[in-house]
Amino acid sequence: MAHIKVEENIPGIRSLVLFRPETGKSLYDLAQVLLRGPSSLPEAERELIAAYVSYRNDCMFCMKSHAAAARCLYGAEEKLVDEVLNDMQQSNVSNKMKALLHIAGKVQILGKEVRLEDIIAARSLGADDKEIHDTVLIAASFSMFNRYVDGLASFTPTDATVYEEMGKRMVNGYLPPSSEQS
């Protein structure tokens, strides 16, 4: 049960956003611009960074929902998502993506963990300033979202099909739930 009185059976962040729409709108706007806004990183890769950080933060709701969105966006290459969540270094994503996921993993621990050599490595594999910026900010943002969702003990569905549906919906973007359509 959630730590505060939110509507029962509404999963994860949606229940929290319905509880406090004023902050919810900014949170959804941030997710939308970070994960769907203009960027040279494909949406699939951005969702994968979100899922990877959520996995490292042990936030099942965020991990399963963003992994589902990433699988939809990768399409025929959807197995990359599970490879990364299983063992990032052994996965078949590009070396550039590995370097960015490595940076995201450091950010998940603490900002100070990111070293100049990590940045140099990502650059040498073709990552530009904006991609490095976006990777750090996505990882930092999911360090927030994960704590919000689990810190208030919001409802985490266990049924895998719930996340499949959620992933399909998330592909179309992030719009805050309203009390009528929740």
155 near other proteins (CB under 8 A): no
Nearer to other proteins, 42 or 151 (CB): 151
Which residue among 7, 58, 77, 82 contacts other proteins (CB under 8 A)? 58
Whole-number Å distance between alpha carbons of 13 and 82: 23
Nearer to other proteins, 59 or 80 (CB): 59
Helix (H, G, I), strand (E, B) or coil at 179: coil
Q: What is the DSSP letter of 175?
A: -
CB of 43 to other proteins, least distance (A): 15
Whole-number Å distance between alpha carbons of 25 and 6: 17
Q: Measuring CA to CA, which residue among 73, 104, 69, 72 is closest to residue 88?
A: 104
8 near other proteins (CB under 8 A): no
Which residue among 110, 158, 160, 180 contacts other proteins (CB under 8 A)? 110
**Binding track over 112-151 against other proteins, x by CB under 8 A:** xxx-x--x---------xx-xx--xx-xxx-xxxxxxxxx
Whole-number Å distance between alpha carbons of 19 and 14: 9
Alpha helices in 57-128 (DSSP H): 60-74, 79-87, 95-109, 116-124
Beta bridge partners of 155: 11
Nearer to other proteins, 44 or 132 (CB): 132
Residues at the contact surface with other proteins, assessed by CB under 8 A? 3-5, 16, 19-20, 22-23, 25-27, 29-30, 33-34, 37-38, 57-59, 103, 106-107, 110-114, 116, 119, 129-130, 132-133, 136-137, 139-141, 143-153
